[in-house]
Each structure stands twice: as C-alpha cells, then as structure tokens.
Amino acid sequence: MDDRIIKTEYSDVMQKSFIDYAMSVIVARALPDARDGLKPVQRRTLYDMHELGIRYDKPYRKSARIVGDTMGKYHPHGDSSIYEALVVMTQDFKKGLPLVDGHGNFGNIEGDGAAAMRYTEARLERISQEGLLADLDKDVVDFVPNFDETEKEPSVLPAKFPNLLINGSEGIAVGMATSIPPHNFAEVVDAAKAYMLNPNITTRELMRYVKGPDFPTGGIVINKDDLLDIYETGAGKIKIRGRVTTEKVKGGRVNIVITEIPYTMIGAGIGKFLSDVAALAESKKTTDVVDISNQSSKEGIRIVIEVRKDTDVDNFINMLYKKTRLEDTFGVNMLAIHKGRPETMGLKAILKANIDFQFEVAKRKYTTLLNKELEKKEIQEGLIKACNVIDLIIEILRGSKDRAMAKACLVEGETKGIRFKTKGSELMASQLRFTEKQANAILDMRLYKLIGLEIEALIAEHEDTLTNIFKYEDILARRDAMAQVIINDMEDFKKQYKRERRTTIENGVEAVFEEAKQQELDVYFLLDRFGYAKTIDEATFERNKEAALNENRYVFKCKNTGKVCLFTDKGQLHTIKVMDVPFGKFRDKSVPVDNISTYSMEKENIVYVASQSDLNLYRVMFMTKQAMCKVVDGGEFDVAKRNVAATKLQDGDEVVWVEVLKEQKTVVLQSKEGYFLRMPVEDIPEKKKAAIGVRGMKLKDSDSIEAVFGLNYNDPKTIEYKSKQLELNKIKLGKRDGSGVKVRA
C-alpha cells in the first residue's frame, strides 16, 4: 500500500492545480481566439445553430432548444453562460455586427435583461452563416472531440473577416482580462486589404483606414492623439463623451439633449446618470436644473435636461462631463488567444493573425476543391473514353460472368473467361487500361448517358472541370492570387454590411467647469440622539430654538462652507462637510450621519461633535475609560482626510469624554464605584493627537471612569447621584493622579 502513496509538497500541488485551473479558464472560457474573434461558448453556440439548421433563411427556434443542445453536446458549463452569450450576440447596441438574429425580448440599452430562454427565439444572422460557418464541409479547420468524445466540434470557425476587431470582446479570466472595443466593418476590411497588399505596413499607416473604435452607441472619442500608442501596444485608455445638443424652447429657454451616450454607460449607467444629475441639483452643486427626463425609445437615446433661462449652457455641459459619466474612460486591453496562449496584441498583430488564418483556410479549402475536381476529371475522362468505345464495352459486359470479371477487363485488359464476338474485339479489350475509379463509373453508368445530348453535356462539364482545376492550381500556386480571392470575399461582405461611422474621433478640449462660489452663511447644525443630522438657517433656529435644543443632542452654529467633526469612543475622528448635510426647514427630513461620513453606527458611538472652526480656536481635552487624559491643540484636527485617529488608546480602553476647553478651569471625574476627583485643567499636559496621554485618576482594578464634567470656578453645577443632589464645585480640589473621594448615598 505504501508504494502507491505519492508524497509531495502541498504548496507544489496547490500551485500546479491553480495554474491548470487558470489556464483552463483563460484558454477554454474567458478569452477570444485571435483568428475568429470568438470565445468557446460563442463558437459552440453558433456551430450548434448551424448543425440544427437554424439558418438566416429558416424559421426562428426557441432559445431554450439552442441552449440545451449546445450544453448537451459541446459546452457543459451551465445554461446561463450559454444563454447570456446568445443574448449578447443579438444586441446591436453592444456588438458592431450582431451574429444572431433574436426574436422577442433580448434586453435593451437601459439595462433591462432579456426574457427567459423559454420565451425568446433566435436564428443565425446571414453574416454568421456566410462569413463564419461557411465551408466547414471542405476540411478548412480541424475538428476536435467534444467533452465526452461523442461529437466533433471545430477548434475555430473559418472567419472570412477580422471579427475580433469588428465586434470587440470583453472577458475576465484568472489574473487577466480582455477589453477590445468594436470597430467599423468597412474600415477594418480596408485595413485588412491594405495589410495583404503590403505586409510591412505600419500601425500609423493602418490607422488611415481604422480611424479608431466605432462604438454602436456612437459618442465622441476625445483623445485622438493617444490612439496610435494604444493600437501599437494593445493597451491604453480611450476617453469617450456622449453627444450633447441644445434645443430652443418657448420662453427663450434652452434644453440640453443627450442623443448618444458613452459605450460604458450601457445598462444601469443611464439610470445612474439620471440620478447623478438629480443629486447635483439636490446638493445645490447646480441650481440650473428645472427637470430631467429620459425620452429614449427604439429610435434611439434622448435624455432631456430642462435648465433655467439664464443658464451658462457651455459651463453646464462641462459640469456634466466632469461630474457624471457622460465623459468616461474605456480601458483597452486587446488580449486574445494566439497560437494557443494569451497575448496582448496591437492592431497590426490582430489583423495579421486573422489574415494568416484566412490564408491557411483558403489553402485547405482550395486543396480540397482541387482534389475533388481532379477526381471528377479522372471519372469524366474515363466516361468520355468509354463513349468512344461503347460497343466494345457493351460486348465485354454481355460476355462477362460477373462484375469483377468485367472490371478486371476494363482495368487490366484481362479477357480470360469473357465471350467476344470476334478476335478483334478481344484484342481491343486486352488493351483497355481504365483506372479503378473510371471502371466503377463505367459499370455504374446508366444507359440514358449514351444519348447524344448527355455526351455533349459530359464534354462541357469536363471543360468546366479543367477550368476549375486551372483556377484552383493558380490560387494555390500564387499567394497574390489567393490574396485576391480573400479580398474579393471581404469586399462582398463590405458591400452588404458597411455602415456609416457612428463614433466621432477628435482631440477634444478639456472640460473646464467653474463651480459657482457658494455664498458663505451661518447655519445651525442639529444632530439628534438617533444620529440624524440637518442644518437650518439662523432665523429658523431662533423661531424653533426651544424645540431644537430639546429634540437634539448637539446644536451649534457653524459656517455652511466648513466642516463638522465627530469624535467616537474608538478614538476616531470623522469629518463631514456641512454642504453634505441636508439644509432646509426645521421639520424637513434629516439624514443619518453614517450616510454622509465614514462613521459607522454599528461599530462605534459618538462621544462629541463640534465645528472644526471652533476646534481651530481652542484646545481639546480627552478622557478615557481607564482614566487616561490629555489636552490637544484643536488645530491638529484640521485635516483633509475624512477619517483619522483622534487619540491613541490602550488595549481595552475607549474614549468616554471629549470637550473643547473654553472657560473650564476644573474637571470632575466620576468613577463607576462612586469615586469623584476634581482637579485643575492646567494639571493635564498638552500632547499630540497620536499620544496616549497621562493617568488622570488612580482606579481600582474593577473600576473605570463613568462620567466627566468640565467646570468654571464659580459654576454651581449640580448632578443627581444616588437620588441626592451633588454640587460638583464643593468637591475638594485634588491633584491629577489622585484617588478622589468616595461619595456615599
């Protein structure tokens, strides 16, 4: 038994297993092939439709039938991945050239998903049938066993055009991803033609034909100068904007109309854009928006933004570019499977991969056709020769005992056993030397073939065969002849499927948006005990002062352009821009502070809240549960970050009290076990915010600080302690790090 146990390093097994898994995902699922531009699931789906006979000129078939057949025969990875691939191949807003003709609800540009596969129907598009699946019966590509070796499937489809560039591709593998934009069909064909005529052509010269990506959604590419580097390296970033126009309406106002969107906004991006514009209006980043509506339909995108009469339209449009996804970045990473391995390829490399493949396909196709014509030629020559000696052949057939004897005479001139009418006939028969195929054709020939017109048709067919043989031999012998055949095929497709470019390529001007300067106002910040905040103006506060003070935990004046600082028991400082806090009427809705800051209500509790402008003018005192205290210059909390550590804590400790020191002269510490210590504020040293601090009070092991009070010398502050009134200023003044006095009931 021991000799069958293989001992190996666990990490080696994991490494090998992960690499095998990664390569399987990379090569067999996520990345397209550079030759036909298809991922395995797309290729298998198209081939299955071809095998099922769901052609462009045949009726639609249920998508569920296509998905089930594909999964059962070729792609055993679940029906959802197959159906998703089928859906994407039908969507003209994602693909430059849809490969599947869908019938039913296959989703839309606004992100609505396709109906279930049991409701939709599909069939092949004509371009798929003629440009990707044609000639599979001519041994043009290798067929490999399917997953269970019960079927054969093509390793690649014989694409007659650079589909990878025309339709683009997106996919996430293990440790790598591909993102190839779609391009204009006519431009790609022209570039492929130019490459075939001059294999040494440069990327810059190819870009005379391929101007840049041509997204189905249109839009404007605004970094034209960066495209050369992107197409040479196969990676980079394309900046794309939506197309914006203006329409004059009644009252002298102007509507902003978006008629094309960036390719990256397909799906939920349109809804996000609408909500972003609404948010800009709600947060007062712009006061120009009157209304926004999505009037898009089957005819195209139409998003209308109604603005005020005095709006600076250019500045408003620039704001949309800056603050929303109306200007976005498409990350290009032209990664594809080339010669069995993933490779980042530039424009020329992708064209070369497809053109080299087309030459290979053409060579195999015309070799197959030539062999068939040569076989036909051999048989035709035998039949013509037989017609010339038809009387002799009839005599041989009548005199033979069986087919084998007649065939032996036709092929080898063997006359033994055959009865001839004359010695002359026997002598002529002995000189016959038909080939094996010719003899079989003669023996299978029907009598009507001896009609004069049939013989003439045979001779004409033979001449056509000789013409085809000459043509195929010429194509196979000369690369330029084969190139011309490939070019002719692509030109035919170009005539049928070319369309005007939708995406404009230019060097756009950087969008400059000048934000309207916010008028600085004094407002009151209100935070209730549930953690909901809002701001109101001074007049509103004065009218509702009593209710505001009674209903809220923190109430203070601040500037609307300033910040609010939240100190928590975990020693953290969270800052909130006052502009982010809802401003309005006293009874308007508040917003949870954890929605507008990094503070988490579930993980920490608010200990103190103050305006940052107050902190800058004063010092801040901290006290922790373990009686560690310090004073920090408030200017240290004037930070750009939304979340920083306000103080350092020991293990198991937490902040129980924070307060801005204004007029406080003494501080009273109250412990859980009833000890009180009143000490001068000046006894507490000033430290940096990163320091732990010093001990303020000696505590027993089980004791901790429960409350802290800051007092003036003459402040008659009284608290209720154990059902009695305790005047804090009458507690004996002690020193820092004292034990305090025990207050009994």
pLDDT, residue 490, reads: 95
Q: Is 239 left (phi over 0), alpha (psi -120 to 50) or beta?
A: beta
Amino acid identity of residue 287, one-letter, is T
pLDDT along the chain (745 residues), means of 10: 72 76 69 94 96 95 96 92 95 93 93 93 96 94 93 95 95 86 96 95 96 95 94 95 91 89 89 89 82 89 91 90 92 93 94 96 95 89 81 80 84 80 80 85 74 76 91 93 95 94 88 66 92 92 92 92 93 92 86 90 92 90 94 92 92 93 91 92 92 92 92 82 86 90 80
For residues 601, 602, 608, 612, the Cα torsion angle rounded to the nearest 10 degrees is -50
352 vs 587: CA distance, rounded Å: 69
CB-CB neighbours of 257 under 10 Å: 16
**Catalytically annotated residue among 119, 231, 532, 554:** 119
Question: For 116-137, b where at least 16 C-beta lie within 10 A, e where not — what string?
Answer: ebeebbbbbbebbbbbbbbbbe
This model's pTM is above 0.75: no
CB-CB neighbours of 405 under 10 Å: 18
143, two tokens: 């067929």
219 vs 619: CA distance, rounded Å: 55
SS3 label, residue 34? coil
Burial class (CB within 10 angstroms; exposed 0-12, middle 13-18, buried 19+) of 2:
exposed
* Closest to 201 in 3D by CA, of 36, 344, 351: 351
187 vs 192: CA distance, rounded Å: 9
| Phi, psi at 527, each rounded to 5° | -130, 115
Residue bearing tokens 């603005």: 307
For residue 474, give every residue at least 6 positions away whose Cβ sits within 8 Å of its Cβ, in sequence order, or none: 481
CA dist list (Å): 360 to 142, 319, 460, 529, 602: 11, 53, 32, 76, 65
Q: Where are the alpha helices (DSSP H) in 431-514?
A: 436-444, 452-477, 479-497
* Closest to 243 in 3D by CA, of 255, 263, 258: 258
Q: What structural domains does the chain harbor?
A: 243-325 (3.30.1360.40), 363-496 (1.10.268.10), 522-742 (2.120.10.90)
162 vs 34: CA distance, rounded Å: 9
pLDDT, residue 107, reads: 92
Is 225 within 8 Å of 234 (Cβ atoms)?
Answer: no
Q: How many angstroms separate the first and last alpha carbons of the chain?
A: 80
Opening angle at CA 323, ends 319 and 326, nearest 5: 85
- Edge-to-edge strand list for the sheet holding 643-645: 606-611, 563-568, 572-577, 643-645
Largest CA distance in the chain: 154
* Closest to 317 in 3D by CA, of 261, 243, 222: 243
Helix or strand run (H / E) with residue 591: strand 591-592
661 vs 456: CA distance, rounded Å: 117
CA dist list (Å): 7 to 1, 12, 15, 417, 424: 13, 11, 16, 76, 86
Is 548 within 8 Å of 528 (Cβ atoms)?
Answer: no
For residue 444, give every residue at least 6 positions away whose Cβ sits within 8 Å of its Cβ, in sequence order, or none: none
458 vs 453: CA distance, rounded Å: 9
Helix or strand run (H / E) with residue 536: strand 532-537
Specify which residues 529 forms β-bridges with. Answer: none
DSSP string spanning 219-252? -EE-BGGGHHHHHHHSEEEEEEE-EEEEEE-GGG
106 vs 114: CA distance, rounded Å: 4
pLDDT, residue 327, reads: 93
For residues 109, 115, 118, 120, the Cα torsion angle rounded to the nearest 10 degrees is -40
| Phi, psi at 331, each rounded to 5° | -80, 120
Residue 119 annotated among the catalytic residues of the structure: yes
Is 694 within 8 Å of 629 (Cβ atoms)?
Answer: yes
Is 63 within 8 Å of 89 (Cβ atoms)?
Answer: no
SS (H, E, C) 313-372: HHHHHHHHHHHCCCEEEEEEECEEEECCEEEECCHHHHHHHHHHHHHHHHHHHHHHHHHH
Specify which residues 329 forms β-bridges with. Answer: 239
For residues 386, 392, 394, 399, the Cα torsion angle rounded to the nearest 10 degrees is -140
